[in-house]
Structure 1
Amino acid sequence: MQSSIPHSAQPVAAGFRELFTPKLITVLREGYGLAGLRADAVAGLTVAIVALPLSMAIAIASGVSPERGLFTAIVGGFLVSALGGSRFQVGGPAGAFIVLVAATVERHGVDGLLLATLIAGLFLIAIGLLRLGTYIKFIPYPVTVGFTAGIAVIIFASQLRDLFGLALPGKEPGPLIDKLPVLWAAAETVSPASFAIAVLTVAVIAGTKRLRPGWPGMLIAIVLAAVAVAVFSLPVETVGDRFGDIPRMPPAPALPVFSSDKLVAVLPDAAAFALLGAIESLLSAVVADGMTGRRHRSNCELVAQGVANIGSALFGGICVTGTIARTATNVRAGAHGPVAGMLHALFLLAFMLLAAPLARYIPLAALAGLLAFVAWNMVERHAIAAIVRTSSGDALVLGVTFLLVVFRDLSEGILVGFALGALLFLNRMAKSIAVEAHMPFVEDDVADSVNGDRAAYDAAEGSSPETVVYRISGAFFFGSAATVGAVLDRIADQRRNFILDCSAVPVVDTTAANVIAGVARKAHRAGIRFVIAGAAPPVRRMLQRQGARRPHAVYAASLKDARALLSNG
């Protein structure tokens, strides 16, 4: 039976399927046997051991009950691995969302959070299907470093209350500037026992990581802390004291309660969730690619992240994204493919079924110590030092992003940092443009201001006294259009021929093309023959669309052809 898809559309349909085929299907097609399942089972169990305390800690820090973190890791983690475009990505709740989730809960309640998470999932699916995931990679590196460092500071600040066992008279403020005075005012209520448990937790995690990196340091630290509190009857608040028992099963799926007013109210939060989720998940996938030599499918990954967020919201979970620490653990544990992430979710579900009541004995100070350790490791100290040493412009982008994230808003930090990074890039590109001329009568200061330290144009290229030759080198766009236009406007009217060599121009935008078209019109009015040489097809098309075409300008494949064209009249 012949396909009903037109022959011309079949390659497009095949390309679309390839872009959005989950890596699970790819792995199964390759042949998945018992050895692969064994490797994935070991990796999945290893990641689950890491994810168990971390998921509860992130949920508590986000202002919701700890079981919601487990719901997120179980439902969202399973869907991310089953449908995603990364072979090793592990999904779940992430520390980067703590501030956003806590603020959303404070403004709109848990129902508003679930609704925002569901809408964010729809946004992520749309971003993926529109193939916009490719553009996430254009976020400058200083922005991601500054953003991550800012998140780390916020996470650490959010744990100060439980780290020191402070007794606050009211609700803890969210913004850092408001939070610190309140915490300082409660300094007299510091609990030495809570602080000791937090220090014990950090020491065990750090020591295990250094001496026995293959051991589950986080789980060991939490268990030891719980045992210490129980054995010595320490006056330390536990999960059970604040939240009661952890349920043994996730709830039945249900849509969040919402109204049209609440839908409109949570849209900004949903957009922030989607933006941060896209950045965090694709960054995690890139890390996995770097560790394994594989390549992820970014748009497929975003669609999976969207489905996972919808699934998490339906089961009462919070925001889902790809998590760098758990993904890296998955790779180091020898995972074969996405089944490892799916098994990690099933292992967490088994914990809820069998051992959920034990979670009530976990000290909150221990979970705070765990998150403090995570926050410390989130700060890329070597990267910050390298950026500061290398470029003052990049250091400015990093610093502004960091300060805005800490003291203003996560999304604002990303957007302003991206804008500054883009302006910095445009400035560098504008300065990289060069206009080289063979014109004996051009003043030295003009040539120097345009060419900088570049070598002078070969005199042989413009040997004819009737011909002037200019060569443009570099990306020619609006940032450099004014500089180049000022030089090209100084055409010597006594010359009969003007050759513009564009062979070293990789790209041109409409602003720059309009400058060239204006030069062509001016040359035509002055009776000068204007030839554009060596322009690549995309550059040539852009120039022609803006008016640089006959009778104002003609084109030649090379400088040699341009001279031949002029000599033949």
Structure 2
Amino acid sequence: MEKKSIFTGRYAGYSVQSFKKDVLSGLVVGIIAIPLGMAFAIASGVNPEYGIYTTIIAGILISLFGGSKFQIGGPTGAFIPILFAIVLTYGYESLLLAGFLAGIMLVLMGIFKLGSLIKYIPRPVTIGFTSGIAVLIFVGQIANFLGLSNVEKHESFLMNVKEIILRMDTINIYSVLTAVICLIAVILTPKILPKVPGPLIGLLVSTVAAIIFFPSEVATIGSAFGEISNKLPEFHFPEITFERIQLLIGPAFVIAMLGGIESLLSAVVADGMTGTKHNSNRELIGQGVANMVTPLFGGIPATGAIARTATNIKNGAVSPFSGIIHGSVVLLVLVLFAPYASAIPLASMAPVLMIVAWNMSERRVFVSLLKTKTTDSLVLLVTFLLTVFVSLTVAVEVGLIAAVILFAKQMSEQLIIAKALPDPEHKNKRVETHRVTNSRDCPQISIFNIEGPLFFGSAQTFEQSIMRTIHYKPNILLLRMGKVPFMDATAEAYLSSIVKDFSTHGTVIFSGMNPHPLSIVKKTGLYDYTGEEHFFEHTGEAIDFSLEQLDRNKCLSCQHFAFEECTALSAGLDYKKTEET
């Protein structure tokens, strides 16, 4: 039954009409994917045909095995900085191994059902590194846009900027003209011909213009990378050694995380556009399979492409067949027309990537988050700056750590620990903090209202607040924990310290403890150490128990009158008989 739902459930009610829609949408997205695949490969520091191979193989496999009906997979702009850094530092062969390792990680993430955990990555982190990647892509294309010569590629952003500035005297006016023609065509095409892919028209128009009006004046794909072969990719298993795995496990993890995040974001966008529901764990497995197989044929890492997935849906896609057809269209174009792509000027590819960078920059959300001037703004800025000036790997790691630390700090500040007493004027005698004053506070019973999560970030504050306040050592310490939803092991350790320290001269009792904290103290043995009789469901019961434990001699002539019963106790009377009277 499960097998049927995986492989045929997505095709329920499929018809000839549905197939026609898939063919149309697959054709459109396939045409769009061709220039993007080459552009992303070139920007990643590898030959353009490797981007084509990735589009074909990963595109088909992600549609076959992924968890979204409409997902279009392939190379994307988000990978460019990390892939370029790997190629520059370790070489193309190592990139294949890193992609393969990332595929294994994605499969394992899916098998162990970690798909839902991706959603816990804070939005400021994803917006920060996405915007940073956009800046890197945009700046990385300036040299090709201007036709600068002898530009040396560096991993460092600042070094690349310096290189561009130093080579400004080599501007090629023909390259600029070619790039401007492409840019105008890409921008105007959606307005004039909404259903025609702008990048394809931009490349065609600018290439034809360059060939007719100034041949041999601009660098082309052919002059930079050699002629693009129309042969199918050959199978080649990357060399695997323990040393190479150690070297590439970090970059592979970043590729896996980035691929997982982007593919699931794309699947969520698809859900929102179609009213469907993707399977996040199966999507990770599909992405993993694609990234394990693609490097074996020379392809670079791939993931779900949000823009192409949206285009797929807008053009009427019905099932994963559209993604399979998209890959098949690219394969057909590779076989029939690949050599002609060698004539495309590099200056024509630059505007295509610049517009991709502009569209993925999340500039409005970025500015909006900055304006909040909260910890989210700090996480966003740190992640963005580290992505641009250090590396994507460091940016994601530091961004996540910063987000966790700042979140823990915020949560710890939400913890409220305050002494309280019953309010006799309230019909239910609610225990309120405002009742405690210098002149009204029982010397023998300390009641504390505790509100908020008790965890590693707030545990020490919790202990210090309690112990500092009860320095005069009352007989009874009553902790009201009805508003503590959660308690971790660190907080339990501090709570245990309070109980054991106080138990040397008095008694600790609890009221209203919620199921999660209660289960923790039972598992650690603190429940048995304190005694079941010291845990109460209601505060009223706990206060009645506390009053029974009072040293009546200390109550004589006491003027605090913290409880209603204190009037009788201060006079040496039995408060129970007084209540009955």
Secondary structure of 1:470's partner?
strand
Cα distance in 2 between the residues matched to 1:426 and 1:314: 43
- Contact 2:478 2:510 (8 Å CA) reproduced: yes
Paired with 1:334 and 1:472, the residues of 2 have a C-alpha distance of 56
Distance apart, 1:496 and its partner CA: 4.7
Post-superposition shift, 1:129?
A: 1.8
* Counterpart-to-counterpart distance in 1, 2:252 and 2:473: 64
Matches within 5 A, 1:433-472: 433-439=415-421, 456-457=432-433, 467-472=445-450
Question: Which residue, out of 462, 465, 488, partners 1:484?
Answer: 462
Task: Say whether residues 1:91 and 2:73 are aligned partners.
Answer: yes
Aligned to 1:562: 542
The one-letter code sitting in structure 2 at the alignment partner of 1:42 is: L
- Which of 531, 540, 565 aligns to 2:509? It is 531
Are 1:26 and 2:9 matched, yes or no?
A: yes
SS in 2 for 1:506: coil
Tell whether the 8 Å contact from 2:102 to 2:291 is kept in structure 1 after alignment: yes
Which among 273, 278, 288 is matched to residue 306 of structure 1? Answer: 288
Partner residue of 1:498 out of 464, 477, 495? 477
Q: Deviations over 1:330-359 (max 9, x none)?
A: 222232222221111111112112222321
Q: Contact 2:152–2:163 (CA<8 Å) still a contact in 1?
A: no
Of residues 142, 148, 170 in structure 2, which corresponds to 1:189?
170
Q: Using a 3 Å threshold, how does the CA distance of structure 1 residues 389 and 24 change in structure 2: closer, same or farther?
A: farther
**What residue in structure 1 maps to residue 206 of structure 2?**
225
Does residue 198 (structure 1) correspond to residue 179 (structure 2)? The answer is: yes
The alpha carbon displacement at 1:458 in A equals 7.6
Q: How does 1:1-400 map to 2 (within 5 A)?
A: 25-28=8-11, 30-168=12-150, 171-210=152-191, 212-234=193-215, 235-259=217-241, 261-400=243-382
Structure 1 unaligned blocks of 5 or more = 1-13, 441-454
The separation in 2 between residues aligned to 1:22 and 1:308, in whole angstroms, is: 21
Q: Closer, same or farther in 2 for the Cα pair 1:476/1:261, shift >3 Å?
A: closer
Counterpart check, 1:429 vs 2:429: no
* Secondary structure class of the residue paired with 2:503: helix
Q: Is the 8 A contact 1:514 1:543 kept in 2?
A: no
1:522 and 2:501 matched: yes
Q: Secondary structure at the match of 1:279?
A: helix
- Aligned partners of 2:198, 2:493: CA distance in 1, in Å? 62
Shift of residue 465, structure 1, vs aligned partner = 8.9
Task: Map Cα deviations across residues 227-253 of structure 1 (whole Å, 9 max, x no partner).
Answer: 211221342222222233322242232
TM-superposition CA deviations, 1:301-344 (whole Å, max 9, x none): 22211110111111111111111221222222232222221111
Provide the residue aligned with 2:492 in structure 1.
513
In the alignment, the residues of structure 1 paired with residue 540 and residue 308 of structure 2 have an alpha-carbon distance, to the nearest angstrom, of: 59
In 1, the alpha carbon distance for the partners of 2:493 and 2:203 equals 65
In structure 2, C-alpha distance between the alignment counterparts of 1:379 and 1:415, rounded to whole Å: 20
**Rounded Cα–Cα distance in structure 1 between residues aligned with 2:477 and 2:275:** 51
What are the Cα deviations for residues 106-160 of structure 1, in whole angstroms up to 9, with x where unaligned? 2333222222211221122222222233322222111111101110111112212
Q: CA deviation at 1:560?
A: 4.0
Q: How many angstroms apart in 2 are the aligned matches of 1:336 and 1:561?
A: 63
In 2: Cα distance, 1:98 partner to 1:275 partner: 14
Residue in 2 that maps onto 1:403: 385
Equivalent pair of 1:22/1:82 in contact (CA under 8 Å)? no
Coordinate RMSD, CA, aligned: 2.7
The structural deviation recorded for 1:209 is: 3.5
CA contact (8 A) 2:474 2:506 kept: no
Matches of 2:162 and 2:476 in 1, distance apart? 74
Residue 556 of structure 2 corresponds to none
- Residues 155-185 of structure 1 show CA distances to partners (whole Å, capped at 9, x for unaligned) of 11221221111111x6432322222222222
Give the letter for the 1:207 counterpart: L
Residues 471 and 23 of structure 1: is their aligned pair in 2 closer, same or farther, counting only changes over 3 Å?
farther
Instruction: Supply the AA of the counterpart residue of 2:404.
Output: A
- Cα 1:464–1:182 shift into 2, 3 Å: closer
> Which secondary structure state, in structure 2, belongs to the residue aligned with residue 549 of structure 1?
helix
Structure 2 equivalent of residue 448 of structure 1 = none
TM-score, length basis structure 1? 0.87
Question: For the Cα contact (< 8 Å) 1:91–1:320, is it kept in 2?
Answer: yes
SS in 1 for 2:376: helix
Helix, strand or coil for the counterpart of 1:478?
coil
Matches of 1:398 and 1:273 in 2, distance apart? 20
SS at match of 1:479: coil
Aligned to 2:579: none
Structure number with greater Rg is 2
In the alignment, the residues of structure 1 paired with residue 92 and residue 62 of structure 2 have an alpha-carbon distance, to the nearest angstrom, of 23
Query: Within 2, Cα distance between the matches of 1:392 and 1:198?
Result: 40
| 1:509 to partner: Cα distance | 0.8
Q: Aligned letter for 1:221?
A: G
Query: Displacement of 1:261 after TM fit?
Result: 4.4
> How far apart, in 2, do the equivalents of 1:548 and 1:294 lie?
48
Separation in structure 2 between the aligned mates of residue 498 and residue 263 of structure 1, nearest angstrom: 56
User: 1:492–1:184: structure 2 CA closer, same or farther, 3 Å change rule?
Assistant: closer
Range with greater deviation from structure 2 (288-297 or 311-320): 288-297
| 8 Å Cα contact 2:420/2:449 also seen in 1 | no
Write out per-residue CA displacement over residues 190-213 of structure 1, whole angstroms, 9 at most, x where no aligned residue: 111111221222222222334544
Shift in Å at residue 285 of structure 1? 2.2
1:71·1:317 contact (CA, 8 Å) conserved in 2? yes
- Structure 2: distance between partners of 1:379 and 1:495: 60
Do the aligned residues in 1 keep the contact of 2:22 with 2:321 (CA within 8 Å)?
yes
Measure the CA separation in 1 of the matches of 2:241 and 2:420: 71
2: CA distance, partners of 1:504 / 1:249: 67
Moved more, 272-281 or 317-326: 272-281
Aligned residues of 2:421 and 2:435 also touching (Cα < 8 A): no
